[in-house]
Amino acid sequence: MPSLTDAAFMIGAGDRVVGRTEYCVRPRGEVERIETIGGTKNPDVARIRELRPDVILANKEENTKVRVAPLAVEFPVWLTDPRGPDDVPDLWRELGSITGTDGDVLARECEDELAKSRAAAPPDGPEFLYYVWKDPWIVAGHGTYISALLESVGWRNALPPEMTRFPRLAPTDIAVRPCLVHLLSSEPYSFKLEDAPAKPARVVDGELLSWYPSLTVNGLRYARGLLKEYS
């Protein structure tokens, strides 16, 4: 999980990271020295066994159970599955405990930023649809970290409450579902503005809005900045 590798460096345990996925690109200039062991969905399990890690940092959504489960029999696995930025302070404290470092400073920074975001959130903020993929259109529904982060600063998800996780939308669904802005993520699909299925639309930084816990604080600040443009 790219953001967990980034978090290990932030908390002061980067010198102990022995393997990363090919998508683990932060912190730039430091992470490149670490051996790559495949992707998030298809890691090199044999090589992971050879590296004999003390703990494997994994994510329920990004890493497949068929790959992680066999490794969990042999090695401790820290499996993360946050539903929003409210879960991030505990993640920092848990990671600190796992790595023998102090995660409390990073946890408190996140708590302070969350409090600031909620205090400034408008009661009736702009509605959004957040696109993560094209052909088919896949959007961030309720119950996702992305949606929860945006909602924390005052955005409102235009999907009905029953549309959770990452539902697919047909073009006709988008046409009949008005919202103030269509947010096109820069990852995992690298959207361009001309890809937008409807207007108004804007390309947004997908790393800032989805990488946790490493970019949660910056993500909240970024989401507040976006909100000001449409409030």
**74 and 171 part of one domain:** no
SS (H, E, C) 145-203: HHHHHHHHCCCEECCCCCCECCCEECHHHHHCCCCCEEEEECCCCCCCHHHCCCCCEEE
Judged against a pLDDT cut of 90, whether residue 79 lies above it is answered with yes
In a domain, 68, yes or no: yes
The answer to whether residues 136 and 224 belong to one domain is yes
Residues 76 and 123 in one domain: no
Residue of 150, 159, 145, 163 whose CA lies nearest to 202: 150
Residue 137 pLDDT class (50, 70, 90 cuts): very high
What is the tally of structural domains in the chain? 2
What's the domain range around 61? 2-81
Whether 131 and 70 share a structural domain: no
In a domain, 92, yes or no: no
Q: Which of 81, 96, 130 is the last residue of a domain?
A: 81
Pick from 37, 60, 81: which residue ends a domain?
Answer: 81
102 occurs within a structural domain: no
Q: Has this prediction a pTM greater than 0.85?
A: yes
Are residue 152 and residue 213 in the same domain, yes or no? yes
Q: Which residue has the higher pLDDT, 65 or 96?
A: 96
pLDDT at 158: 96
95, part of any domain: no
Percent share of the chain, pLDDT over 70: 100
Inside any domain, residue 175: yes
Confidence class of residue 61 from pLDDT cuts 50, 70 and 90? confident
CATH number at residue 13: 3.40.50.1980
- For residue 60 the two structure tokens come to 């329920």
pLDDT band for 175, please (50, 70, 90 cuts). Answer: confident
pLDDT digits (tens, 9 = 90+) for 204-216: 999 999 999 999 9
- Residue 8: inside a domain: yes
Please check whether residues 134 and 222 belong to one and the same domain.
yes
